[in-house]
Amino acid sequence: MTSAASLSVFASAHPDGARLLADIGGTNARFALETGPGKVEAVDVLACADHATLADAVRAYLAPRAQYGQIRHAAIAIANPVDGDFVRMTNHHWQFSTAAVRTELGFDTLLVVNDFTALASSLPHLRDNEKRQVGGGTAAPDAAIGLVGAGTGLGVSGLIPCGTRWTPLQSEGGHVTFAPANETEVQILQFAWREFEHVSAERLLSGVGLELIYRALCAIRGQAEENIKAPEITRRALAGECALCDQVVEAFCGMLGTVAGNLAVTLGATGGVYIGGGIVPKLGERFERSSFRARFEHKGRFAAYLARVPVYVITAEYPAFVGVSAILAERLAAH
C-alpha cells in the first residue's frame, strides 16, 4: 500500500485535522489523507480523464471520507510548471487558479508545487528498501542530488544542500533538446523530426516516447508496425515475445542513461541520481541489465567522475506524498 513508512512516524495527530495530499500526473490523480506526522491513510488513485476539473476530482475523493472531518490544509504536487496562481497542465486539459480552487473547496491552505519538486523533497527520507541501486558508486555527503523520471512526461529536478536543509529545484529539464548518442538514435531523431519541429528528451523518454521509438524502429528496419501502446510494448519486451519491442526498451534505457549522466554533470550530483516516474520501476531486472549504466558513464574524460556517482531507482509506491507532506509542514510551521 502506501509508502507512509517513509515518513517519520509519531503518535500525535495534526491538531488542525487531517491534511489532504495529492500527486497529480497527466493520467492519474493520487490522493491521501495525512492524519498526523507520518500517518498517511486512505490512499486512492483516480483517473484524471474521469473528472472535468481538479476540484471535481478532489470532491470525488473526499465525498466518501466525511469521517475525517473538514479539511483545512492541502498540498498538491502536479506534473506541470508552477509559476504563480494559474496552472495549465501540459499533458492534460485541467487548468485552474489555485486561489479559486482553495476558495471553492473551502481550504485555509492550498499549496500547488511541481510534482518533481515534491518528489525531490522526498529523497532524503527514502529508506533503503524503497530504492534500488543500479551499478556502482557511493553517495558523497552534503552533495547535490539529481532526479529524473519518465512516465506520462519526463520530470527532472534535484536537491541542493543548504546547511542543514535541502532546496528542491523547480526544473523543466525534460524539455531540453534530445541529443542522440549513436547512429540508430540519429535515425530515430530524424524520424521524430517528421512529426515535431522540436524533439525534446520528453518526446522519447515517456509513454508516448516508447511508442515513437517503436514507430521509428519499424520504419528504420522496414518492418510493418502495429497500433500498440506503451504498456503493450513493455509487456511484450519483458515477456520475450517481441525482439523489436525489446529493442525499443533497450533504446529507451540507453537514452535515459545519457540524460541522467547529463544531469549528474550539470548539477555536480555526486550525492547520487534518482530515477522515478512510472516506467522504469516496472522494468525491474531488464533495466539493470540494459545499457543505462554504461551510457550514464559514457562521458569521455568524465567517465571516471560518473563511475563514482550512484544511481537509485525509486521503488516506494507513493514517494511524492512524502515530499509534498514535508513542503506543507514547512509552510504551516512558518505561519
Q: Which domains does the chain have, with CATH numbers?
A: 4-121+318-334 (3.30.420.40), 128-315 (3.40.367.20)
Bridge partner residues of 40 (DSSP):
34
Query: What confidence category does residue 81 fall into, taking pLDDT thresholds of 50, 70 and 90?
Result: confident
Average confidence (pLDDT) over 50-70: 97
Mind listing the pLDDT tens digit for each residue in 159-175?
999 988 899 988 889 99
Mind listing the pLDDT tens digit for each residue in 210-259?
999 999 999 999 999 999 999 999 999 999 999 999 999 999 999 999 99
The neighbour count for residue 260, using CB atoms within 10 Å, is 26
Confidence at residue 3, expressed as pLDDT on a 0 to 100 scale: 39
Collect all residues with Cβ–Cβ distance below 8 Å to 73 and sequence separation of at least 6: 16, 17, 19, 20, 107, 108, 109, 328, 332
pLDDT at 301 over 90: yes
Q: Is 253 exposed, middle or buried (0-12, 13-18, 19+ CB in 10 A)?
A: buried
277: left (phi over 0), alpha (psi -120 to 50) or beta: left
pLDDT at 1 over 70: no
Query: Strands 165-168, 154-162: parallel, antiparallel or unpaired by DSSP?
Result: antiparallel
Confidence at residue 163, expressed as pLDDT on a 0 to 100 scale: 86
Q: Record the cell numbers describing residue 48, joined without a space.
A: 484524471
Q: What is the percent of the chain with per-residue pLDDT over 70, rounded to a whole number?
A: 96
Confidence at residue 158, expressed as pLDDT on a 0 to 100 scale: 94
Confidence at residue 306, expressed as pLDDT on a 0 to 100 scale: 98
| Residue 26 assigned as binding residue | yes
The residue type at 319: P
Bridge partner residues of 86 (DSSP):
97
| Residue 23 assigned as binding residue | yes
Confidence at residue 105, expressed as pLDDT on a 0 to 100 scale: 97
| Residue 25 assigned as binding residue | yes
Confidence at residue 12, expressed as pLDDT on a 0 to 100 scale: 64
User: How far are the Cα atoms of 155, 270, 311 from residue 138, in angstroms, in the given order?
Assistant: 24, 8, 9
Query: What confidence category does residue 2 fall into, taking pLDDT thresholds of 50, 70 and 90?
Result: very low
Give the lowest-confidence range in 37-46, 197-206, 295-304: 37-46
Question: How far is Cα 202 from Cα 149, in angstroms, rounded to an integer?
Answer: 10
Q: Record the cell numbers describing residue 296, joined without a space.
A: 550514464
Confidence at residue 91, expressed as pLDDT on a 0 to 100 scale: 78
pLDDT at 152 over 90: no
The answer to whether residues 325 and 19 touch, using CB atoms and an 8 Å cutoff, is yes
Query: What confidence category does residue 10 fall into, taking pLDDT thresholds of 50, 70 and 90?
Result: very low
Mind listing the pLDDT tens digit for each residue in 116-146?
889 999 998 888 999 999 999 999 999 999 9
The per-residue DSSP string of 285-304 comes to HHHHTSSHHHHHH--GGGHH
pLDDT at 270 over 50: yes
- Tell me the pLDDT of the chain averaged across its residues: 93
Between 165 and 112, the higher pLDDT residue: 112
Average confidence (pLDDT) over 270-286: 95
| Residue 149 assigned as binding residue | no
Cell numbers 474521469 label which residue? 50
Collect all residues with Cβ–Cβ distance below 8 Å to 83 and sequence separation of at least 6: none
3-class state of residue 274 by DSSP: strand
pLDDT at 9 over 60: no
